[in-house]
Amino acid sequence: MASSLKPPPKAALQRFHAGQVGDDTVETYLAKGWSVGICCKACERLVEWTPPELAARFEGREGLRIADLVPRLTCKGEDGCGSNEVTVFPHLYDGDWRWAP
């Protein structure tokens, strides 16, 4: 299944700061069925962490604030540019997802 996730507009991408995420936690995203969209400010590479991925990555740490996660993210891996300037934003997951804490 292809995701409908799209990068934010360039102006919004450049103005992003972690405070815009608010107090949402991994649990908030799981409960609402949101993916985390992660977009690099330098190269505009876009990655999606779906709810099933979030549940696996952060099992037992669902109270982690998304804003606290931002400083630890970098654009790495295949096709990554190495920048640590990234944005994060919620995206309604395109798949079927139910979370039972």
**pLDDT tens digits along 15-42:** 998 888 899 999 999 999 999 999 999 9
Cβ atoms of 36 and 6 within 8 Å: the answer is no
Enter the tokens of residue 15.
């103005």
Q: What pLDDT shows up at residue 79?
A: 87
Residue 91 phi, psi (nearest 5): -140, 125
* pLDDT tens digit sequence for 5-18: 999 899 988 899 88
Compute CA distances 12 → 7, 8, 48, 53, 88, whole Å.
10, 6, 18, 26, 11
Which residue(s) pair with 46 in the sheet?
39
Going from N- to C-terminal start, the domains of the chain cover: 11-92
